[in-house]
Amino acid sequence: MAAVGGSSPPEAKDGEPQREAMPDPDSQWGHIENSDTGRARRMRDGESWFLVDQDWYKQWEVYVREGDEDPSTIPGCINNAKLFEDKINWQLKKGLVEGEDYVLLSTTAWNLLVSWYGLEHGQPPIERKVVDWRGICEVEVYPVELLLARHSDMDTTHTAEFSQTDSIDLVLRTAQDHFVVSPQEETRLWVKNAEGSFERLCNTRVSLRTASIKSGQLVVMETRSKDGTWPSQQTRAASSVTKEEEEFHGQPGICGLTNLGNTCFMNSALQCLSNVPQLTEYFLKNRYLDELNFCNPLGMKGEIAEAYADLVKQAWSGRHRSIVPNVFKTKVGHFASQFLGYQQHDSQELLSFLLDGLHEDLNRVKKKEYVEQCDAAGRPDQEVAVEAWQNHKRRNDSVIVDTFHGLFKSTLVCPDCGHVSVTFDPFCYLSVPLPVSHKRVMEVFFVSMDPRRKPEQHRLVVPKKGKISDLCMALAKHTGVSPERGSEALRVEGGRMGFRDREVGGPVEGGPD
């Protein structure tokens, strides 16, 4: 394990540790065994302590306690060779016991001894972390050994050691370093459990102990492909992908969504949301990774946010003419049973669920506090609105709030006392009525009594609640016949309006007298 927490002794020009002037034996004993910084100090969770061979330490202890100044009795460099299995991998022997095989030294005590006596050339320091086991701090002598592999080659593994207090993120960074994967490339981890199946390590901020990771487990690192997909989610065999599809390069964002069966409601909502520039840029630049909220009881453990991010990355990779959103639909159906199956649904209902799910999965507020709603009480609207927005952000703070939320002013007047109450309520979407037209289109046939004029068909726009005179005036503009003369010659035939010119031919046959 890499040294953490302790400062290394200064080095000389030849690369060997720079020795400090060795104090007298009594002073050495006081520095190493004192209760403030030395071996007798109380351990603290997360700090580093060092293992030292018991025989070497006993020799040093005899030297400083007896005060023998004979140079032959002075212990040489710290030598922990008896604690290692070999001198190649420097693995500790199994079954070492404190007090019989080794002693534990605080970082300060270790650095002092190394500065006075040095460390055997080529030997690594045996640094171990302190872990808190239910209120009892102990040194983790044997760290967790994990087998790291890449998804593309799971037969080739690399063994790495970690403390149980180390985060999953450290495991990921270690795998990236070993397999030479750039931190800019998006990666994720899977762990193989006892049943032989793989489980995704979603929350990289938790420790190995919290994630129940044990020694000997296989951890696989997966890297997102250039087309925005994950290799583990590819449903088609590689042989079925044509060369033309592999080499396709189109405009990012111009990408269709395959209809899975009555999923046009979902596809239309996704296309609209995907073309919101601020939100899409947020996912494409991986800013969502630092804000995934896995502990929100109102959220979906980050799964909806990750599923939507996968969809956006594929659509905006420029390598697909169309994509199949089956993984996203499965996630939606898992958390919202009303969208299971392949029935028709309302787009706004799906969009409402998605916006709320993304907000809770990406909420930056980890613990929501109670906030009392504020009333205007005669204050200016701007002051009340700022206060209401600040209160809203104390419980809800996400990219969805930044992009879609606003405040709706609500005014209530008491019918008894006349008191006016003004509040500003947050909203994410508003239901607005469709515009209602006050006009209607009518189809009218004009038949002139003049044999030289052929019957004419006209489409007229008239008021919905208009009168016959409105129809006559509209038709008069098209035919040139005076509305006063035409209104007396109007009749209905077969559900269609007929209009005849009385001036030329007299009464209309079959029409009103």
Domain-by-domain residue ranges, the chain? 25-140, 144-223, 255-362, 381-427, 439-491
> Could you list the mean pLDDT of each consecutive 10-residue stretch along the chain, which spans 513 residues?
40 50 85 85 89 94 78 84 90 92 94 93 92 85 93 91 90 94 92 90 91 92 92 62 74 93 94 95 94 93 95 93 92 93 92 96 92 82 92 94 94 88 89 85 84 87 88 85 62 50 39 35
CA 473, chain centre distance (Å)? 64
DSSP 136: E
Instruction: Kindly report the backbone phi and psi dihedral angles of residue 47, in degrees, each rounded to the nearest multiple of 5, phi listed first.
Output: -85, 175
Note the pLDDT of residue 279: 96
Q: What span, in angstroms and rounded, lies between the C-alpha atoms of 138 and 44? A: 9
Which residues lie below 8 Å from residue 70, measured CB to CB, with a gap of 6+?
Answer: none
Of 77, 90, 125, 87, whose CA–CA distance to 104 is shortest?
A: 125
Count the Cβ atoms, other than its own, within 10 Å of residue 298: 12
Note the pLDDT of residue 235: 56
The separation between the first and the last C-alpha atoms of the chain, rounded to the nearest angstrom, is 109
At 419 the three-state DSSP class reads: coil
DSSP 318: S
Note the pLDDT of residue 385: 92
Q: What span, in angstroms and rounded, lies between the C-alpha atoms of 127 and 52? A: 10
Helices (H), 214-346: 243-246, 264-274, 277-284, 303-315, 326-335
Note the pLDDT of residue 103: 95
3-state secondary structure 371-412: CCCCCCCCCCHHHHHHHHHHHHHCCCCCHHHHHHCEEEEEEE
Q: Which fold has domain 25-140?
A: DUSP-like (3.30.2230)
Q: What span, in angstroms and rounded, lies between the C-alpha atoms of 294 and 22? A: 53
Segments of 81-142 assigned E as strands: 102-106, 127-133, 136-139
Note the pLDDT of residue 1: 39
At 139 the three-state DSSP class reads: strand
The answer to whether the beta carbons of residues 171 and 187 sit under 8 Å apart is no
Structure-block tokens of residue 410: 């609500």
Note the pLDDT of residue 310: 95
Q: Residue 221, class by beta-carbon neighbours within 10 Å (0-12 exposed, 13-18 middle, 19+ buried)?
A: buried
Q: Are the folds of 25-140 and 144-223 the same?
A: no
Note the pLDDT of residue 298: 92
Note the pLDDT of residue 275: 95
Q: What span, in angstroms and rounded, lies between the C-alpha atoms of 384 and 377? A: 9
Residue tagged 């929350």 (tokens):
203
Structure-block tokens of residue 137: 């701090």
The hierarchical CATH code for the domain 144-223 is 3.10.20.90
Q: What span, in angstroms and rounded, lies between the C-alpha atoms of 19 and 115? A: 5
Helices (H), 74-167: 107-117
Residues in the chain: 513
Note the pLDDT of residue 80: 95
Strand partners, 500: 447
Q: At what angle do helices 303-315 and 326-335 cross, to 10 degrees?
A: 160
At 469 the three-state DSSP class reads: helix
